[in-house]
Amino acid sequence: MTRRREVGIIKSLVLGAAFAAALALPANAQDKKLTLSGTAVLTTDYIFRGISNSDENPAVQASFDATYGIFYAGVWGSNTDFGDGIELDYYAGITPTWKNITFDIGGLYYTFPGFNSIDYFELKTGARWTGGNWTLGAINYWSPDNFGLGVESNAIEGGVSYAFSGMLFNFFSPSISGLIGFQSYEAVVPDYTYWNAGLTLGFMERWSADIRYWDTDYSDADCAFNSGGPSNCDARVVGTVKATF
């Protein structure tokens, strides 16, 4: 069985399970309350699936989100090295739950104002299990036309995190996490694997700091073909500070 076929099977299983959970969820299973929130982020490098989207330079990012019961929608923005230097992403979906599993079915639309020929859509399907201090998750992103190239793409990720607790952590909320992902393309662009691992420290209720190691298995030539720069896929450590409001 090829890796591409395995990815397709996993994607179908995740999507089917998520839809089944959504249909089975009682109407009153979650509180219906409109909640608005946002984030402001400063990071040393804008990494997207292991590849620098800011030419290895710092990025300023922000998001605005609305949730109502199991429904969510939002917009996210960042400086980027693509197009005219700005990326705005729009997303919406549902997060039904079953026992201690949360499913996520949604859509994301990536836009690059002033250079809309590379705008594209992704379907997101995933599930996250939480037990005690542990969280395990798998998520799939499928696009019918990646970056306007007329090529299907698929990314599947698996991740794990552990949140520390105890008297020593009354003022801080540390957690460790990591993921591994595989990005495939129907044609033209080379497939690759990416991964990360890092430590996140929450503090003052609304703030967090993250230090994370990223890497991919791309060669310099394949990286340059995908991103425009041969070193954009190299191993690196990225620092991020985030405020939530």
Q: Which two tokens stand for residue 193?
A: 């694997």
Gap between the Cα atoms of 185 and 154, Å rounded: 6
* Coil vs helix vs strand at 186: coil
pLDDT above 50 (res 99): yes
Give the mean model confidence (pLDDT) for residues 141-167. Answer: 94
Q: How far is CA 150 from the centre of its chain?
A: 23
Predicted local distance difference test score (pLDDT) of residue 170: 74
DSSP state of 82: S
DSSP state of 141: E
Gap between the Cα atoms of 165 and 195, Å rounded: 26
Predicted local distance difference test score (pLDDT) of residue 100: 97
Other beta carbons within 10 angstroms of residue 119's beta carbon come to: 18
Q: pLDDT band for position 17 (50/70/90)? A: low
Residue linked to tokens 């698929």: 154
List pLDDT tens digits, range 25-61. 554 445 689 999 999 999 999 999 999 999 999 999 9
Predicted local distance difference test score (pLDDT) of residue 211: 98
Predicted local distance difference test score (pLDDT) of residue 8: 53
CATH of the structural domain 3-244, one choice from 2.40.160.40, 2.40.37.10, 3.40.50.2300, 1.10.3720.10? 2.40.160.40
DSSP state of 88: E
Predicted local distance difference test score (pLDDT) of residue 15: 55
Give the mean model confidence (pLDDT) for residues 215-230. Answer: 96
Delimit the domains of the chain by residue range.
Answer: 3-244
Gap between the Cα atoms of 79 and 85, Å rounded: 6
- Runs of H (alpha helix) within 3-139: 3-24
Gap between the Cα atoms of 122 and 159, Å rounded: 19
Predicted local distance difference test score (pLDDT) of residue 86: 97
- pLDDT above 70 as % of the chain: 87
Long-range interactions of 53-59: CB distance < 8 A, separation 24+: 53/78, 53/80, 53/81, 53/82, 53/87, 53/227, 54/78, 54/79, 54/80, 54/81, 55/81, 55/229, 55/232, 56/229, 56/231, 56/232, 56/236, 57/81
Q: What type of residue is 143? A: S
Q: What type of residue is 216? A: T
List pLDDT tens digits, range 160-209. 999 998 766 778 899 999 999 999 999 999 999 999 999 999 999 899 99
Q: Report, in angstroms and rounded to the nearest whole number, the Rg of the chain calculated over CA atoms.
A: 18
Gap between the Cα atoms of 38 and 41, Å rounded: 10
When mean pLDDT is compared across 10-14, 59-63, 71-75, 133-137, the lowest value belongs to 10-14
